Chain A
Amino acid sequence: MNNSLPISTWFWLLAPNLLIVLLSLFRLLKTRGGDS
């Protein structure tokens, strides 16, 4: 039963990081769209 990482550890490790990458991607796409 110990053979997994607690779900809360996974969540906090990945969620904030994914969020900021996505937000940065959105900013990039928005700039690209509006600029041309």
Chain B
Amino acid sequence: MDPVLVTFSIYILGMLLIGYYYYRQNENISDYFLGGRTLNPFVTALSAQASDMSGWLLMGFPGAIYAGGFNGMWIGIGLAIGTYLNWQFTAQRLRRYTEIVDSITIADFFENRFKDKSRALRIVTALAILIFFTIYVSSGLVAGGLLFENILGINYQLAVVLAVIIIGLYTFLGGFLAVSWTDFVQGSLMVLALLIVPIALISIRGGLSEVWGQIASINPDLLNAGKIVSYDFAAEAKWVTTSDNMSFISLISLLGWGLGYFGMPHILVRFMGIKSAKQIPVSQFVGVTWVVVSLIGAVFVGILGIIAAPEALENTETVFLVLLQKLFNPWVAGVFLAAVLAAIMSTIDSQLLVSSSALAEDFYKALFRPSASQKELLWVSRLAVLFITVIALFFALSGGTILDIVAYAWAGLGASFGPAILFSLFWKKTSRNGVLGGIITGGVVVIIWKNFFAYTGLYEIIPGFFLSALVIYLISYFGEDPIPEVVDEFERAMKPLINE
């Protein structure tokens, strides 16, 4: 039997067993969604990072670096800084605040934070989550499809369906605890792959200085982070410099990815699930180190791919897969290919969980069945996982690169929720109407910009984020002051914060 298949099967079986184990432990909906807030700081850290970094990290991002050289690293820098700021400023306060207002989802938090009786805030939040997460989940299915297609040599459609079955099954079973623990394992595997593979490649190619020389002989501008190089698989000279000076718009569009973090519900719930707010500095250090090592590793994978891949790639996002299969012993390659699957699964499972909570808690329970039992909700959530996966499957089969699909979903979530979360946590006068307007503005601007203003070259998260922030500020500023209960809770959430 093919060693790659053996490693892969063992890996998938292990993940399913963890899912099944926690399936038997989940007794209520809070367990399923937040694991009863019992996570230790290492699990929190790695599960937050692994949920964040999807197939994007091992496929989309190295693909962009492979195609454009070091210029693409600015995305990674933006993301690393965003990760840091999110841990530093958002995590602890969100953990504390959500406990004070007794909330297990982001929609809960908004509703309880503003004492919104109208349900409008909850429904708008759930709607934005459903739209953008379904897109996001589909990017993971595209990545899963590419991976299985590459490894098993089956056709892409079948590969995507196979990815759906495996991922859906264990999220369906295990819920948050399973997802957090499998994420922990998967996060470890991912960072290991991103450390070892570049180091091995550099030594195979004869050291760093050899590597730079070989790349420079293709196009020296690939090594310059300030120059823009474009890739054309069909052309004779595949890497051609298209700009000697990166424009300001290009730079902020790449760095702007980092803004998304404040609004990623699947990452924010990881902050909420930690056992105690006091453990956050430990998680932060582990998480930030993880992300820095992984992103730099991914940059090197892409760069080394330019010279180490046996031939130019038609689909640049397969660079990591191709390198592994061509250069490593199949047993070793199998383990690292499992890391790619890990990256994909660890994100999709978290996103499915958040989306299913939006359907179960925010639509089903809030609108139709306020008296639904815990058991009933647990089952509705599980069915919601299946439902969302099927919709995402249709998106995935309709095409697009991982990087593009992720960029869209990332901008939508970041612009809808980022400003809303930041204002809710840090500005006492923030009002329900402000946040409602902000969420809608962020989401709508991203969709409009993506469809009509993409020609400007400005990444849609930038206008979406800032217009959303502006709307929240203006509506809240000119609106009524918050009621005393809200002020009191806000101040309690602020109080004994550690080293901010």
Contact = CB atoms under 8 A, between A and B. Distances in A.
B278 interface: yes
Given A13-B73, A17-B80, A30-B499, A24 B285 contact: yes
Contacts of B224: 6, 8-9
Nearest to A12: B225
Counting chain A CB atoms within 10 Å of each CB, the highest count among B217, B278, B284, B296 belongs to B284
B77 A16 contact: yes
Interface stretch (B50-58, B125-133, B287-295, B423-431): B287-295
Contact of A2 (B70, B88, B208, B216): B216
B462 to A, nearest CB: 19
A10 to B, nearest CB: 9
Interface of B is mostly: helix
A21 to B, nearest CB: 5
B220 A2 contact: yes
Interface string B46-71: 00000000000000000000000010
B217 A2 contact: yes
Interface string A1-36: 011111011001110111011011101101110110
B358 to A, nearest CB: 31
B213 A34 contact: no
Contacts of B482: none
B285 A25 contact: yes
Contacts of B226: 8
Given A6-B224, A28-B282, A12 B77 contact: yes
Interface in B189-234: 208-210, 212-213, 216-217, 220, 223-226
Of listed A9, A16, A27, A34, residue having the most chain B CB within 10 A: A27
Nearest to A23: B84
A24 B84 contact: yes
A17 B77 contact: yes
Contacts of A2: 212-213, 216-217, 220
The dominant DSSP class at the A interface is helix
B284 A27 contact: yes
Interface in B276-333: 278, 281-282, 284-285, 288-289, 292, 295-296, 299
B408 interface: no
A21 B299 CA distance: 18
A31 B292 contact: no
B213 A21 contact: no
Most B-side CB within 10 Å, residue of A20, A34, A35: A20
Instruction: Name, among B87, B208, B281, B282, the residue most crowded by chain A CB atoms within 10 Å (CB to CB).
Output: B281
B349 to A, nearest CB: 26
A27 B281 contact: yes
B278 A31 contact: yes
Contacts of A28: 281-282, 284-285
Which of A4, A9, A24 has the largest count of B CB atoms less than 10 A from its CB? A24
Interface in B401-445: none
Given A9-B224, A17-B295, A24-B284, A3 B77 contact: no
Contact of A16 (B81, B284, B289): B81
Contacts of A20: 80-81, 83-84, 288, 292
B498 interface: yes
A12 B73 contact: yes
Nearest to B213: A3
Contacts of A14: 296
Interface of A: 2-6, 8-9, 12-14, 16-18, 20-21, 23-25, 27-28, 30-32, 34-35
5 contacts: A13-B296, A13-B299, A16-B80, A16-B81, A24-B289
Given A3-B210, A13-B70, A35-B498, 10 more contacts: A2-B216, A2-B217, A3-B209, A4-B209, A9-B223, A20-B81, A24-B288, A28-B281, A31-B498, A35-B278
Closest 5 CB pairs of A and B: A2-B216, A20-B84, A3-B213, A17-B292, A31-B281
